[in-house]
Amino acid sequence: MSWLPRSRTARRRLMVLAVAGPVAALAVAVALYALRGSISFFYTPSQAMAARLPAGRDIQLGGLVRPGSVVKKPDGEVDFVVADHRAASPVVFRGELPDLFREGQGVVAIGAYDGAGVFDARQILAKHDERYMPPQLAAALKKQGEWRGGGAAPSYASP
pLDDT of residue 147: 64
Report the candidate in 21, 48, 35, 25 with the shortest Cα–Cα distance to residue 119: 48
155 against 55, higher pLDDT: 55
Residue 118 pLDDT grade (very low, low, confident, very high; cuts 50, 70, 90): very high
Maximum Cα–Cα distance for the chain, whole Å? 84
Backbone Cα Rg of the chain: 24
In whole angstroms, give the CA distance from residue 27 to residue 33.
10
Backbone angles phi, psi at 19, to 5 degrees: -85, -45
Q: Please name which of 62, 41, 69, 60 lies closest in space to residue 139, comparing C-alpha atoms.
A: 62
CB atoms < 10 A from the CB of 132, how many?
13
pLDDT of residue 158: 46
Judge whether residue 42 has pLDDT over 70.
yes
Q: How confident is the model at residue 128 (pLDDT cuts 50, 70, 90)?
A: low
Distance CA 8, CA 6 (A): 6
Residue 41 has what pLDDT?
A: 86
pTM of the model: 0.64
Q: For the residues 74-82, what does the mean pLDDT come to?
A: 94
Contact 24, 44 (CB under 8 A): no
Q: What pLDDT is stored for residue 159 in this prediction?
A: 45
Rounded CA-CA distance 152/156 in Å is 12
Between 33 and 144, residue with greater pLDDT:
33
As beta bridge partners, residue 145 has: none
Fold of 41-143: OB fold (Dihydrolipoamide Acetyltransferase, E2P) (2.40.50)
